[in-house]
Structure 1
Amino acid sequence: MTTVIAQGTFDILHPGHLHYLQEAAAMGDELYVIIARRANVTHKQKPILPDEQRRDMIAALNCVDHAVLGHLEDIFVPIEEIQPDIIVLGHDQHHDEAAIADALAGRGIDCEVRRATIRDTKFEGELLSTGRIIEKICNERC
């Protein structure tokens, strides 16, 4: 059995998230999704939605077998517990594949690191970014 991990913030679910998770699921037999805790998000604005709500929304997707919250102190703890064969990064996630592979090897975790493809927009005006969704809401409703 091939175990795959995807991870992210998943603040406001959109078609780009679904594409990423479906692509990750297709790479193996079992998909775990690690949802970043709000306290650990430092590379962009903190999520609006609570950790548990974001986890529950991801868990409801058919392509996801397990949705878990990230560890508060060490992002590699859930990966050590799951022992995946593949970690799939989103096409636009800030992570460096080589640095992650080195960190995993340093912890004795033998898995491949891949990057998902970008989802093509299906129609004009489709929003594939949480930031763009929030921006549009603010522009049209605030």
Structure 2
Amino acid sequence: MTRVVATGTFDILHPGHLYYLEESRNLGDELYVIVARDVNVKHKPRPILPEEQRLRMVRALRPVDHALLGDLDDMFRPIEEIRPDIITLGFNQHFNEEDLRQKLRDRGLDIDVVRIPGYPGPLASSSKIVEHILKTRGPHRLVGRAGEGE
């Protein structure tokens, strides 16, 4: 059985997330997803949704067999417990594949690292979705329309 691990923040779920998880699941028989803890997200703005809500949403997705929150102190601890054959990275995750492979080997883990290409759709990132909402539905667009559509 081939075990795959995908990781990410998964804030404001969108088709790009689903694509990443489907492609990750296609590489093996069992998909574990590690959802980043709120306090560990430092490379981009703090998530909009709290970690428990993001975890619940990821757990509900069809390609996901198991989902858990990441470790607060050691990102490799869940990997050591799961012992996957493959770790997938999203197209925009800030990891160098070879550096990650070396860090895994240093911990006695022989795991393949696979980069999943980006989803081809126009709104394939949470930040682009937020930008789009602000541009098309921001406060300046709602003047005189209070309560409309609610």
Shift of 1:46: 1.1
Mapping of 1:30-109 within 5 angstroms?
Answer: 30-109=30-109
Indicate the percent of aligned positions where both proteins have the same amino acid.
Answer: 54
Shift of 1:119: 1.7
Runs of 4+ in 1 over 3 A off after TM superposition: none
Cα distance in structure 1, aligned partners of 2:31 and 2:70:
15
The residue that corresponds to 2:14 in the other structure is 14
1:141 is aligned to 2:138: yes
> Larger Cα Rg: Structure 1 or Structure 2?
2
What code does the residue aligned with 2:76 have? F
Q: So what's the TM-score if we normalise by structure 2?
A: 0.89
What code does the residue aligned with 2:52 have? E
Cα offsets for 1:53-79 (capped at 9, x unmatched): 000100000100001000000111100
Cα distance in structure 2, aligned partners of 1:38 and 1:89:
19
Q: So what's the TM-score if we normalise by structure 1?
A: 0.94
Flag structure 1 segments of 5+ consecutive residues without an equivalent: none
Cα distance in structure 2, aligned partners of 1:141 and 1:66:
37
Root-mean-square deviation (CA, aligned residues, Å) is: 0.9
